[in-house]
Structure 1
Amino acid sequence: MTEKEKNEKKKEYLNRYKNAVKKYNSLQEQEERIRAEMGPGAIEYSGMPKAHKKTDLSDYMVRLEKILYKIADKKREMQEIRLEIEDKITDIDDGIQSRVLYLRYIRFLKWEDICVEIGYSWRQVHRAHSQALKKMNID
């Protein structure tokens, strides 16, 4: 495997956290949508549920419960991935290199923002990123 292929594999590994966060956010949006669909119109003032858009309130509750379980699972998975990646990042001795990886893959900063954050040029940041990837061990 070439050095470039190894680095791509490491980037993929590091991007797992970003992907998990996106999925988690998507699940939260689904929860919000279900709650909005349930809305106050789904319950009569007598306190009795009524049919709502040809779907019982109980159907919404089942969907909501499934989403809530998925959210809890994804949150746990997301936290585990983050801790695992942070552990790999902290194993890198060079403070700047580990900081670049942290800002890029944990805080999701753009390259320009990383340059401003650490006070390095674009080229220096990319060099530090490349060197950090070479040092990082994901096996």
Structure 2
Amino acid sequence: MTAKEYLNRIRRQNFILKQTEHELTEIRSDILTIRSSSMAEHVSGSKNSDIADKYIRLEQYMDKVNHEWDILINMRMEAKAMIKALPDPQQQAVLYARYINCKRWEDIASDMGYSWQGVFKLHGRALQSFEHMNKMLLCKE
């Protein structure tokens, strides 16, 4: 696995987490809509058990979100330690911004005071350094 592939796993996991959180928000909204409409109807019986079942599923989905968070946190912690070991602080900064903070290239360039080309060159050197320092780990992945 290359350094870029390794670090891009964090960006992908961040995207998965955001999508899962979005789905949770939608489910929560749907349940609240169902609950308010059933309360307005004052219907008893199976409607209440349906809502209870939905709350149970909502709890299960919240567990899924927490699991995705755990994965992302672990990935970030591992990658942060590896990035911090790079000798060049500018290389650390570009990798941290791109892969840990999931920033866009234009934001990284602006924040660091570089042109796009400058950021891409720095990023390329940073990936080479990262790969060189972590050959053994990247070979295992």
Q: CA deviation at 1:77?
A: 1.0
Q: Which has the higher helix share?
A: 2
Equivalent-residue separation in structure 1 for 2:82 and 2:44 (angstroms)? 54
Q: CA deviation at 1:41?
A: 2.3
Q: CA deviation at 1:58?
A: 2.5
Q: CA deviation at 1:51?
A: 2.1
Closer, same or farther: CA 42–89 of 1 in aligned 2, 3 Å: farther
Q: Deviations over 1:42-95 (max 9, x none)?
A: 44687967528xx81132122212101111111111111111111111111101
Equivalent-residue separation in structure 1 for 2:25 and 2:116 (angstroms)? 39
TM-score (norm 1): 0.80
Amino acid of the structure 2 residue aligned with 1:67: Y
Pick one of 122, 126, 134 that aligns with 2:128: 134
Verify: 1:124 aligned to 2:102, yes or no. no
Amino acid of the structure 2 residue aligned with 1:73: H
* Bigger RCO of structures 1 and 2 (CA < 8 A, at least 6 apart): 2
Specify the alignment match of 2:13 in structure 1: 20
Specify the alignment match of 2:37 in structure 1: 41
Corresponding residue SS for 2:74: helix
Specify the alignment match of 1:51 in structure 2: 47
Q: CA deviation at 1:16?
A: 1.5
Corresponding residue SS for 2:103: coil
Specify the alignment match of 1:78 in structure 2: 72
Structure 2, gaps ≥5 residues long: none
TM-score (norm 2): 0.79
Amino acid of the structure 1 residue aligned with 2:78: E
Closer, same or farther: CA 42–88 of 1 in aligned 2, 3 Å: farther
Query: What number of residue pairs does the alignment pair up?
Result: 130
Q: Is the deviation greater in 38-47 or in 89-98? A: 38-47
Structure 1, gaps ≥5 residues long: 1-5
Equivalent-residue separation in structure 2 for 1:95 and 1:134 (angstroms)? 14
